[in-house]
Copies of this chain bind each other. A is one copy, B any other.
Amino acid sequence: MKETLNANAQAVLEVVRSSHNHPTALEVYEAVRKVRPRIGVASVYRILHSLAQQGLIRELGRSDEACRYDGHIERHDHAICTACGALLDLPVEVRLSEEALRSAAQAAGIELHSHEVRLYGLCTACRQRLQQAESAEG
């Protein structure tokens, strides 16, 4: 229910948009402090989540989850549920051309060692759960 952005949220959004280096929440906090000195760290976290939920920014790397280990070391891809955080193996390879990979790596200036495709969406359980919640509201 956050329709309009207040001054704090505006400042946070501006900081994230104007920084080209994927800042952490605490980096955002430090930058926002300069223009909104009274803001607290809790508000920055709250606002970041809210902005991400509204699709105005994007969050990379699951914070609420711990590091996970994979016994399958052959290259493969994953699907991640954006609702519950489930991390699933993709049973099929998502093919992409060797040439596209090479040129992308070169463009980023990275020496390519491996790659991964991540699909984001709703897992079966969450899909059902959300549909039920929806129909219950009516």
Give chain A's interface residues, CB within 8 Å of chain B: 13, 16-26, 28, 48, 52, 55-63, 65-73, 77-79, 81-82, 87-97, 100-101, 103-105, 107-124, 127
- Cα distance, A16 to B67, chains bound together (Å): 13
CB distance from A113 to the nearest CB of B (A): 4
- Cα distance, A100 to B100, chains bound together (Å): 15
Q: Are A114 and B104 in contact (CB under 8 A)?
A: no
* Chain B positions within 8 Å of A67 at CB level: 24-25, 59-63
User: Can you offer 9 A-B residue contacts whose CB atoms are under 8 A?
Assistant: A16-B70, A56-B73, A57-B73, A58-B72, A60-B68, A61-B67, A88-B109, A92-B103, A109-B124
Known: A91-B108, A116-B117, A118-B116. A57 touches B78 (CB 8 A): no
* Chain B positions within 8 Å of A23 at CB level: 68-69
The DSSP consensus for interface residues of chain A is mixed
- Cα distance, A48 to B67, chains bound together (Å): 11
Q: Are B96 and A111 in contact (CB under 8 A)?
A: no
Q: Are A113 and B104 in contact (CB under 8 A)?
A: no
- Cα distance, A105 to B92, chains bound together (Å): 9
* Chain B positions within 8 Å of A107 at CB level: 90-92
- Cα distance, A96 to B97, chains bound together (Å): 8
